[in-house]
Structure 1
Amino acid sequence: MPDTLIVNARLVNEGREFDADLRISQGRIEAIGSGLSARDGETVVDANGRRLLPGMIDDQVHFREPGMEYKADMATESTAAVAGGVTSFMDMPNTSPPTLSADVLENKYQRAAGRARANYGFYMGASNDNLEAIRTLDPLTAPGIKVFMGASTGNMLVDDPDTLAGIFREAPTPIITHCEDTPMIDATLAKYRAEYGDDIPAACHPDIRSREACVKSTRLALDLARTHGTRLHVLHISTADELALFTPGPLVDANGVRKRITAETCIHFLRFDRSDYARLGHLIKCNPAIKEASDREALIDALASDVIDVLATDHAPHTWEEKHNPYVRAPSGLPLVQYALVAALELVREGRLSNAQVVQKLAHAPAQLFDVKQRGFLREGYWADLALIDDTPFTVQRSDVLSKCAWSPFEGTTFHSRIAATWVNGQLAWDGDRIVGEPQGRRMEFDR
């Protein structure tokens, strides 16, 4: 593994921006400093003042394997991820079969080995009948346990009160939740189907997957967590209404104490709103739904004020044909890993977040929240998972999309930064134009 020296970089790390060089050796960051001299045989990369960030840790993706490889798989989606500066991902359990046992969990790790271009971790799922598997889960084998407290596929909607209490009481890892109240959604959907049949207008989606359904379910999750002292992370907050339920402040305070209840939003809630359904239709249909412009603005402010702790993607690709079905058959989810980081950096250009805040939400916080070992920071001795940012505008073209579904909701969007290079475990994985070398992703380790 050849050593690499990155010189003249603008490092963004742990609340600071500073000029420095960074040396990679044996896959790790060996040194950070000024005036580092090149060694014989070392590859030298001149950053020319460009920003060097820790790679994004995306704690919420659906790479569809096993069972739905016709629309995505670990190889294709991790390729799109590293092209977008995402160097680690945590994949959801609602696959086929669902990840409801230690054996199925381990099978997903085996599938990723040698194929994933980014580092990987896989969640254990919860159902109404796998409490024993959750109770006995080795906490070193999964970043967390995913509980669907809203609609899900297969056997993964957990709606039994006793089971929910048991999961929150006995989970050996953080619990992550999808919070929407299914009975409320079903009742509203029935009213819209009575009026429109199957072809409900896409703009009705945020009324069907309503803010009231989100708030009710989120309240329940927080009540359970407080009752049982659970470490709880609520995914994809989509409404301004939910923000008052969470405590503002840093994820880890000055005394090293970590929040026990945390919140996350996703990049699509920050770049789209209800007005975009007229243009994009089911391409931006997702659960929870993209809602009002006022919700978008409140979510951005909540990131800046540390009410929301993590920014992720909920990358969930579907085929173009599936997305153009009538409403009741058009699946929810959209592909996002390739353009999430550059979309987040637009918020810096717009004056809404700083570079340091983007890095905190995309890299540091997921590492801290899930106890990720030696990733997510620019620190000597840590794995060299890096993204180099070039402030050169580009416009997203369909021909550039690397996800297997081969489309993006950002087509035609001009971003003002691009990913000039991505390193995974010290190896160049993306050179700004193309994928480089063989897959270098490793199984993530958790320091618990």
Structure 2
Amino acid sequence: MKTYLIKNAQLVNEGRIFRSDVYVQDGRISQVAENITLTADETIDASGKYLLPGVIDDQVHFREPGLTHKGDIFTESRAAVAGGVTSFMEMPNTVPNTITQELLAQKYEIGANTSLANYSFFMGATNDNLEEVLKTDPQNVCGIKIFMGSSTGNMLVDNQAVLEKIFKEAPMLVAVHCEDEATIRANQQKYDEQYGENIPMRCHPEIRSAEACYKSSSMAVELAQKHNTRLHILHISTADELELFRNNIPLAEKRITAEVCVHHLYFDKDDYETLGSGIKCNPAIKEKSHKAALLPALLNDKLDIIATDHAPHTWEEKQNLYKKAPSGLPLVQHSLALMLDFYNRGEISLEKIVEKMSHAPAICFDVAERGYIREGYWADLVLVDLNQEQTVAKENILYKCGWSPLEGKTFTGVITHTFVSGHLAYAEGRFDEGKMGERLLFTR
């Protein structure tokens, strides 16, 4: 592998910003020092730029296998890398669902052959695959995924006895999608009676309500406390749920952690008027009061991780009426840009962004040798120019689906270089696809 010398960067790492050089050799961060004089195959002058550890996105849907008209591991990992995301953890609701060890192994093979970013894949739980779930290796699989709310696909786990067994016997982190199905169905029936087929998109957060989220999340927390499960609740979207989480102990000591997604921080119910199904997702983007509670909870460490729940659908699919328009939106190329927008507004520091998008996922999932700029760690690195602007437009969107709810938005802060496991995968708008990413490993 080539050696790289990054000169004069402003490093954002472990709560500090400081000027430093970084030397990359054999895929690793070989040296971090103020003035490195070693010879390298390529030297990058990072004067005026910020060097961040690569973003680890713990929740994406890259749609392969079975749904590759929407996205695939190659296209979506490429978009991720362009956005500064160097590692991802992908969900099991593909076709077929990833619910056996054989199907899980097949996904890892696709990742090894086609993912430009580092990768891991969740093992999916159902009402009747406990035996397969318990075979999952904690050292090379990111976690077990439970849909406690059907969302997309047919993976709803609603058998209480099965839930008890998974929470009791899971050998690793259990990640859950929490929305109470019975509450949603009752709400849906009311809106069906009122509107028939013409339900307005703005009703989505009333159908997939805050009550449905809290009811399911609180049950998951109760089960985890009962069985001492390592529980991670995905995409928190309500103010109500925040009382379920602690911020008075270090992240590494938490048994119950929570994630917030960029779209729940950025959009609110008023945006349905202009964006409609373009922001329809599960759990729903909700009222301003809920959005207003999420960023403070992130800053005070009740919420631990920032992710995307990147979930592409074709524009044609999204143009259906409410009940047929699928839920999910593509975001992985723009998550860091979104958070830099909050930084430019003075609402979050660069150090906190790095903590929540790089350090915290590494701690939460026990990711081996990633998430920090440390000597000996894998060189997952992102250079950002905060003096440049970028406008999201069709011609620069890399998602296979070809659209974004952020089209027309201009962000200050451009990712200029992305290193994935020491390989310069993206530089100044160009990709080097000569080396794929690495499989994530875990110190459990």
Please indicate the TM-score interval, normalised by the length of the shorter structure: over 0.9
Contact kept? 1:85, 1:341, Cα under 8 Å:
yes
Paired with 1:199 and 1:438, the residues of 2 have a C-alpha distance of 49
Q: Which residue of 1 aligns with 2:175?
A: 176
The amino acid of 2:229's aligned partner reads T
Once the 2 structures are TM-superposed, how far is the Cα of residue 250 of structure 1 from its aligned partner? 5.5
Q: Which residue of 2 aligns with 1:245?
A: 244
Q: Which residue of 1 aligns with 2:5?
A: 5
Paired with 1:201 and 1:432, the residues of 2 have a C-alpha distance of 42
Residues 160-183 of structure 1: CA deviation (Å, up to 9, x unaligned)? 000000000000110000000001
Q: Which residue of 2 aligns with 1:313?
A: 308
**Please, which moves more after superposition, 220-229 or 43-52?**
43-52
Q: How does 1:90-109 map to 2 (within 5 A)?
A: 90-109=89-108
1:412 equivalent to 2:411? Answer: no
Residues 91-134 of structure 1: CA deviation (Å, up to 9, x unaligned)? 00011111111111111000111210000000001100011112
Contact kept? 1:83, 1:432, Cα under 8 Å:
no
Q: Which residue of 1 aligns with 2:428?
A: 432
Q: Which residue of 1 aligns with 2:115?
A: 116
Q: Which residue of 1 aligns with 2:296?
A: 301
Q: Which residue of 2 aligns with 1:443?
A: 439
Paired with 2:140 and 2:16, the residues of 1 have a C-alpha distance of 33
- Structure 1 residues without counterparts, runs of 5 or longer: none
**Please, which moves more after superposition, 146-155 or 363-372?**
146-155
The amino acid of 1:299's aligned partner reads L
Query: Structure 1's 8 and 309: CA in aligned 2 closer, same or farther, altered over 3 A?
Result: same
Match of 2:393 among 376, 394, 397: 397
Paired with 1:22 and 1:202, the residues of 2 have a C-alpha distance of 49
1:27 equivalent to 2:23? Answer: no
Q: Which residue of 2 aligns with 1:57?
A: 56
Once the 2 structures are TM-superposed, how far is the Cα of residue 90 of structure 1 from its aligned partner? 0.3
Q: Which residue of 1 aligns with 2:266?
A: 271
The amino acid of 1:56's aligned partner reads V
Paired with 1:332 and 1:30, the residues of 2 have a C-alpha distance of 43
Q: Which residue of 1 aligns with 2:138?
A: 139
Q: Which residue of 2 aligns with 1:213?
A: 212
Once the 2 structures are TM-superposed, how far is the Cα of residue 154 of structure 1 from its aligned partner? 4.0
Q: TM-score, normalised by structure 2?
A: 0.98
1:387 equivalent to 2:387? Answer: no
1:286 equivalent to 2:285? Answer: no
Contact kept? 2:152, 2:327, Cα under 8 Å:
no
Q: TM-score, normalised by structure 1?
A: 0.97
Once the 2 structures are TM-superposed, how far is the Cα of residue 267 of structure 1 from its aligned partner? 0.3
Q: Which residue of 1 aligns with 2:45?
A: 46
Query: Structure 1's 250 and 26: CA in aligned 2 closer, same or farther, altered over 3 A?
Result: farther
Match of 2:343 among 337, 345, 348: 348
Match of 2:355 among 353, 360, 369: 360
Paired with 2:107 and 2:206, the residues of 1 have a C-alpha distance of 36
Once the 2 structures are TM-superposed, how far is the Cα of residue 249 of structure 1 from its aligned partner? 3.7
Contact kept? 1:72, 1:317, Cα under 8 Å:
yes
Q: Which residue of 1 aligns with 2:36?
A: 36
The amino acid of 1:229's aligned partner reads N
Q: Aligned-pair RMSD on alpha carbons?
A: 1.1
Paired with 1:185 and 1:258, the residues of 2 have a C-alpha distance of 34
Contact kept? 2:62, 2:311, Cα under 8 Å:
yes
Report SS of the residue matched to 2:59: strand
Contact kept? 1:428, 1:437, Cα under 8 Å:
no
The amino acid of 1:294's aligned partner reads S
Residues 395-418 of structure 1: CA deviation (Å, up to 9, x unaligned)? 111111101000011101110111
Paired with 1:277 and 1:137, the residues of 2 have a C-alpha distance of 40
Structure 1 segments (4+ residues) deviating >2 Å? 152-155, 249-252, 436-440
The amino acid of 2:47's aligned partner reads N
* Number of residue-to-residue matches in the alignment: 443
1:162 equivalent to 2:161? Answer: yes
Report SS of the residue matched to 2:275: helix
Paired with 2:177 and 2:25, the residues of 1 have a C-alpha distance of 40
Once the 2 structures are TM-superposed, how far is the Cα of residue 425 of structure 1 from its aligned partner? 1.1
- Structure 2 residues without counterparts, runs of 5 or longer: none
The amino acid of 1:21's aligned partner reads D
Identical pairs, percent: 54
Paired with 2:135 and 2:423, the residues of 1 have a C-alpha distance of 36
